[in-house]
Structure 1
Amino acid sequence: MVDKSEKVVWLARVGFAARGLVYVLLGYLALTAGKSDIDDGAGDIFRVLNAIPGGPVVLYIASAGLVGYALYRLSAALFDIERKGTSWKGRASRVGYLASAVIHLGLAWTAARIASGARGAGEDSSAQMASGVLDFPFGSTLLGIIGVAILIAAIFQARSAVTAGFMRHVSSRAPRFTCWIGRAGHAARAVVMALIGWSLLRTAWFGESEEVVSLGKGINNLRDMETGFQFVAAGLLLFGVFSIITARYRIIPDPTPPAMGLRAISI
């Protein structure tokens, strides 16, 4: 009989695969489609999937996987199952895990709504949400903090691209090219995350929600760079391939608090 923690681990693996699918399609659309086709980022990708035969079923499975991935990241943030510790760097990593959990829960919700045929599902609402936050007391401060957190995450992504530190969490049985694919993918993510974080800081400073850049718009903003845009789009596609590989070879700790025992589950 499979216990609850192992079920979450399997959901996390499905989540890595679902994340990989999102990034593969995102990179592919960026390289082959027009600018308006990826304005909404993940929403556009989910609509493409929904249009294929059996698409809604695929989206529901992807949604379940993204929920599992979010739970895994939430466990890493709350219970430190990745053993990041209590140093400033460790705390920053855990805050990043928490942000990742929230983001992927949002992706799961979007995928499920598109699969169910909900009106307006998947449309880019970044500016609207930012406007709502700005209406709250200290809303601009909150947006600024989120922007700084995303910029810090971008720095960590760039560092991983250089050091390949992410390979510590990947089984030695993974294909040899996994490291280089991962480096290219992390570098591309660092660029896009930096754009998103900077847009949030500008929104917090100027109080204009139109400054907010979503994932799709962040990629589109690089189109004028031509060659640079091609490299980033290809890098995002490769990050998707890397995520799919790590769905199989990622070393995933048991998502339970340390007091209940900590064991590594590697399949």
Structure 2
Amino acid sequence: MHTKALSANGQAHARRAANSQAVDLGARAGFVARGVIYLLVGVLALRIAFSGGSGKQADRGGAIAEVADKPFGSVLLWALGVALAGMALWRLSEAVFGQAGPDGRTPGKRAMAAGRFVFYGFVSYSVLSYATGNRGSGSGSSDRRTDDVTAKALGWTGGQWIVGVAGAVVAGAGLWIAFRAVTRTYHKHLKMAEMTRRARQAVDVVGVFGGAARGTVFATAGGFAIAAAVRHEPGKAKGMDDTLRSFTQTPAGPWLLALIALGLAAFGLFSWANARWRRT
């Protein structure tokens, strides 16, 4: 009985820690950092659309390198890395204790939170490693990494199926992201009542446009992975940079990439809106 009481007391302390102001601030700092990265990716993609990009990568690695080149770049990278670590810890607390909202403790929600914890933990590690001088961490080409991973996977027994299923999952995630943006599902995660009418309108513009653009990029990248699996050609799979560049090869030319680039920048602004009004 005493042991059960201690266990319950420990769980209560852990839950209070998960709901603490520190975790809340970490989550909001993480949204700010995510917004910075997406804004930079959008700007880099816009440069590529009309000037070829001058060798810049329109992906997370390119964004990190862009920050590093600025005055006090190392300090800014440390701030980004720590903020993303805060986001990772918030997602971990959601995985362990559940998210805000009536359905936040379902197994599916916890599993998604756990996946996001791993993702943001990796991104934070990459940024902090780059800040400490490991220039090979975080800034490498997403296209080269995608080619290497795809080639290795295709060499395994059943590798085509593995790559194909992974591509389908990414494509499905992209469609899901776009659908949730267009249907404004994000409303339930934001403190809409605290916004002015003009703020709500602005959030909806960047939320719908930004989410749809982000979902389109994911869905397109997933489609390329499926093509790589079907043709057994690793080079058909594309990272974020090559996926974005592929939009210039459509009949719309660079204008479609410019539209997607503006959408990614809008998603960066939407991330900042989350930093202000997200329910944590």
Give the TM bin, normalised by the shorter chain.
0.7 to 0.9
Where 1:221 maps in the other structure, the secondary structure is helix
Partners of 1:136 and 1:117 in 2: CA distance: 34
How far 1:212 sits from its partner (Å)?
A: 1.9
What letter corresponds to residue 45 of structure 2 in structure 1?
Answer: A
Q: Please tell me whether the aligned partners of residues 16 and 69 of structure 1 are also in contact (alpha carbons under 8 angstroms).
A: yes
Structure 1 range deviating more: 43-52 or 210-219: 210-219
Q: Which residue of 1 aligns with 2:61?
A: 43
Is 1:123 aligned to 2:140, yes or no? yes
Where 2:81 maps in the other structure, the secondary structure is helix
* TM-score computed with the length of structure 2 as normaliser: 0.78
Equivalent runs, 1:1-267 vs 2, <5 Å: 4-5=17-18, 6=20, 7-33=22-48, 34-35=52-53, 37-39=55-57, 41-77=59-95, 80-81=98-99, 83=103, 91=108, 96-121=112-137, 122-124=139-141, 125-172=145-192, 173-174=194-195, 175-176=199-200, 177-224=202-249, 225=252, 226-252=254-280
1:102–1:195 Cα change, 3 Å: farther
Partners of 2:95 and 2:157 in 1: CA distance: 27
How far 1:14 sits from its partner (Å)?
A: 1.1
Where 2:136 maps in the other structure, the secondary structure is coil
1:64–1:232 Cα change, 3 Å: same
* TM-score computed with the length of structure 1 as normaliser: 0.81
Where 2:71 maps in the other structure, the secondary structure is coil
Where 2:238 maps in the other structure, the secondary structure is coil
What letter corresponds to residue 123 of structure 1 in structure 2?
Answer: G
| Cα deviation digits, residues 134-159 of structure 1 (max 9, x gap) | 34444443333322222221122221
Q: Please tell me whether the aligned partners of residues 44 and 53 of structure 2 are also in contact (alpha carbons under 8 angstroms).
A: no
| Cα deviation digits, residues 60-90 of structure 1 (max 9, x gap) | 221122222233334445654252576xxx8
Q: Please tell me whether the aligned partners of residues 146 and 239 of structure 2 are also in contact (alpha carbons under 8 angstroms).
A: yes
Structure 1 range deviating more: 176-185 or 216-225: 216-225
Whose radius of gyration is greater, 1 or 2?
Answer: 2
How far 1:48 sits from its partner (Å)?
A: 0.9
Give the fraction of aligned pairs with identical amino acids, expressed as a percent: 28
1:148–1:68 Cα change, 3 Å: farther
- Cα RMSD, aligned residues only: 2.6
Q: Which residue of 1 aligns with 2:10?
A: none
Where 1:251 maps in the other structure, the secondary structure is coil
* Alignment gaps of 5+ in structure 2: 1-15
1:220–1:244 Cα change, 3 Å: same
1:96–1:153 Cα change, 3 Å: farther
Partners of 1:204 and 1:182 in 2: CA distance: 33
Where 2:257 maps in the other structure, the secondary structure is helix
Structure 1 range deviating more: 15-24 or 201-210: 201-210
